[in-house]
């Protein structure tokens, strides 16, 4: 395994970010992988300020490239472990100077908001970012996934390693439990855990949805996630009409302004 994941990060269209919170509980979310000063980064608009601060103040973070969809030829299935650093780029300078062109290339919805100086002035609220960088201290292989609801990421809090992650097939689901099967060995382990599945419309990424389940991995073989709480869905919503797109942009604008004001 190469010591530098930079090429794979540039080639990847999407990633999963897993983190270990201060209370020892893991979390996970899908994101657009970027590179800042040679290290993995995600840059979230202020509409997602609370999520960015959870990532940025975590004790451990893993950036996972397991979804090969829309990836370039340099893509590799890898997981980058490290400690996060949170940069509050409230005027958007760092994002505009160093990251915006990566996002425009990977995330087509951004082009309607920031693909020209005129659009950037009109949608000024989209440029300020909470940027979470990860200084790598370990890079490892991870199993590649098909994406969507059939497989996902499992992140497990481990008293020895801090945070273990792996790609899993997601089987039968119920309100109280989810069957998971590791796509490669070793399995992520047993303990407090979060499972994440996400899906998006290709190639436009206009619709992007995710499902998360929080709980405890049990069983000698770690095949059962006992669910305490779950959120979202991995099923894509219908294609939005014009009015729905306008409402969605207005909601994003209000949320970004609100996040900046807090």
DSSP-derived secondary structure for 50-79: HHHHHHHT-SEEEEEE-B-TT--TT---EE
pLDDT at 18 over 80: yes
Q: How many residues does the chain have?
A: 262
pLDDT at 1 over 80: no
CATH number assigned to the domain comprising residue 193:
2.30.110.10
What value does the CA radius of gyration of the chain take, rounded to a whole number of Å? 18
- What is the number of structural domains in the chain? 1
Q: Does the residue 128 lie in any domain? A: yes
Domain that holds residue 189: 6-261
Tokens of 183: 């796509």
Q: Does the residue 69 lie in any domain? A: yes
Residues 6+ apart with CB under 8 A from 93: none
Q: Does the residue 132 lie in any domain? A: yes
What is the rounded average pLDDT of the residues 11-17?
A: 97
pLDDT one-digit tens code per residue, 38-75: 999 999 999 999 999 999 999 999 999 999 999 999 99
Q: Does the residue 21 lie in any domain? A: yes
Q: Does the residue 227 lie in any domain? A: yes
Q: Which residues of 117-149 are buried (b: 16+ CB within 10 A; e: fewer)?
A: eeebeebbbbbbbbbbbbebeebeebebbebbb
Q: Does the residue 20 lie in any domain? A: yes
Q: Is 182 helix (H, G, I), strand (E, B) or coil?
A: strand
Q: What 3 state SS string does 114-169 have?
A: HCCHHHHHHCHHHCCEEEEEEEEEEEEECCCECCCCCEEEEEEEECCCEEEEEEEE
Q: Does the residue 1 lie in any domain? A: no
Tokens of 73: 């030829």
pLDDT one-digit tens code per residue, 214-262: 999 886 665 788 889 889 988 899 999 999 999 999 999 999 999 999 8
- Burial of 21 per CB tally in 10 Å (0-12, 13-18, 19+): middle
Q: Does the residue 65 lie in any domain? A: yes
Q: What is each CA distance from 31 to 177, 181, 209, in whole angstroms?
A: 26, 23, 11
Rounded to two decimals, the pTM is 0.93
Range name among 53-57, 99-103, 110-114, 225-229 with the lowest pLDDT average: 225-229
ω before 186 within 30° of 0 (cis)?
A: yes
pLDDT one-digit tens code per residue, 152-192: 999 999 877 689 999 998 887 776 778 888 887 677 778 89
């Amino acid at each position: 395994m190469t010591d530098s994941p930079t090429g794979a990060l540039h080639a990847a269209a999407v990633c999963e970010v897993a983190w270990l919170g201060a209370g020892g509980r893991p979390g996970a979310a899908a994101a657009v992988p970027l590179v800042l000063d040679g290290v993995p980064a995600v840059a979230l608009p202020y509409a997602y300020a609370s999520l960015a601060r959870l990532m940025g103040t975590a004790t451990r973070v893993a950036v996972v490239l397991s979804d090969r969809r829309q990836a370039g030829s340099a893509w590799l299935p890898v997981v980058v472990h490290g400690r996060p650093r949170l940069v509050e780029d409230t005027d958007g300078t760092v994002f505009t100077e160093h990251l915006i062109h990566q996002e425009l290339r990977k995330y087509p919805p951004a082009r309607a908001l920031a693909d020209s100086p005129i659009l950037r002035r009109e949608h000024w609220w989209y440029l300020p970012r909470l940027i979470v960088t990860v200084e790598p201290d370990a890079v490892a292989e991870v199993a590649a996934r098909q994406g969507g609801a059939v497989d996902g990421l499992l992140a497990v809090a481990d008293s020895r390693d801090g945070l273990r992650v792996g790609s899993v097939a997601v089987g039968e689901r119920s309100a109280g439990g989810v069957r998971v099967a590791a796509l490669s060995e070793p399995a992520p382990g047993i303990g407090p855990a979060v499972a994440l599945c996400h899906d998006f419309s290709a190639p436009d990424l206009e619709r992007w949805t995710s499902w998360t389940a929080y709980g405890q991995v049990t069983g000698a073989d770690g095949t059962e996630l006992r669910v305490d709480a779950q959120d979202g869905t991995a099923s894509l919503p219908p294609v939005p009409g014009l009015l729905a797109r306008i409402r969605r942009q207005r909601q994003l604008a209000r949320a970004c302004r609100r996040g900046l004001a807090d």
